[in-house]
Amino acid sequence: MSLWLAVVILAGAEGLAVGLMLLVRRRAPVGSFFKDTAEAAGVFAVVGTAFAVLLAFVFFLTFQSYDSARKDARGEADAVTGMFRTAALFPTPARLTLQGQLVCYGRAVAELEWPAMRHERSSPVVQGWINALDRDLRAVRIVGDKPTTALSHWFDQSEARQTGRRGRLAEAASVVPPLVWLVLILGGAVVIAYTCLFADPEERRLSQGLMMFAVSTMVISSLLVVRFLDHPYQNRSGSIRPTSMREALDVIGTQRAEQPPLAPLPCDATGRPLRT
């Protein structure tokens, strides 16, 4: 959801809520619909508190998911950079092959898998590069202490990369179940509707409108924030983007240029394999 769309939804909902309050106010009895406003206010406090507690719990859950997705993306990018450096300790043919595949993996993550995650999917191209890395690593002939140590580091970094990718993909799915969304929406509607029962024709329109404006703003804006945090890869302002992986590719590109000989990359700019 874009920022402008959120503003339009918020403004529209506020306008409807304030308009509803002023409409109800025209037909409300003097002193509101309650004979005892203190008792009604107590009930409203219970309803509002229950909604606020549920909203706070869901907000914490979605924020934790959003933060985990950001950390997993950073951890994956760091692991790819580490694997590229470790591959430099392997024999030259294997080094060129593995380093080229790592570049293609990073490109595919940034250009193909990120858009796919907006639809809660992964990219088969990324999985193809993972399979190629595993296959070609098994063909590497390890002789000597330095390559043996490098192989151990490679496995550690590969596990970190896999962990980061699994976490990143897991957070692409919504963490808020549909039933919870239903309860949140119903709870917000109840809070707004209950506020309308405090409409009093003897009160000033401005004060009554501002009361509904404040309540509706907090309810609708809170739901919009939860919706934003629950979908962290939507390519909108504040969404998680493949910035970490692109930064890692920049670092890798600089290091690769300093490690001749250079071999042609087996992929295009989006990470798709080149036809041979």
User: What global pTM score does this model have?
Assistant: 0.83
Q: Which residue has the tokens 């008792």?
A: 39
Name beta bridge partners: 117.
none
In contact, 220 and 51? CB cutoff 8 Å: no
Across the chain, which has 276 residues, the per-10-residue mean pLDDT values are: 79 89 83 72 85 93 93 95 91 88 95 92 94 88 77 91 93 90 93 86 84 91 91 84 93 86 87 82
Q: Which residues contact 161 (CB under 8 A, 6 or more apart)?
A: 76, 79, 80, 83
Give the tokens for residue 212: 């509904």
Instruction: Kindly list the domain boundaries of the chain, sorted by start residue.
Output: 42-257
3-state secondary structure of 38: helix
Phi, psi (deg, nearest 5) at residue 121: -125, 165
In contact, 195 and 32? CB cutoff 8 Å: no
Inter-residue long-range contacts of 109-115, CB under 8 Å, 24+ positions, other chains counted: 109/76, 109/165, 109/242, 109/245, 109/271, 110/242, 110/245, 110/246, 110/249, 110/271, 111/242, 111/269, 111/270, 111/271, 112/270, 112/271, 112/272, 114/233, 114/235, 114/241, 114/242, 115/235
Q: Which residue has the tokens 């990470």?
A: 271
Give the tokens for residue 135: 């296959």
3-state secondary structure of 273: strand
The reported pLDDT for the residue numbered 243 is 92
The reported pLDDT for the residue numbered 163 is 94
The reported pLDDT for the residue numbered 1 is 62
The reported pLDDT for the residue numbered 271 is 93
Q: Which residues contact 231 (CB under 8 A, 6 or more apart)?
A: 1, 118, 174, 239
The reported pLDDT for the residue numbered 276 is 53
In contact, 250 and 110? CB cutoff 8 Å: no
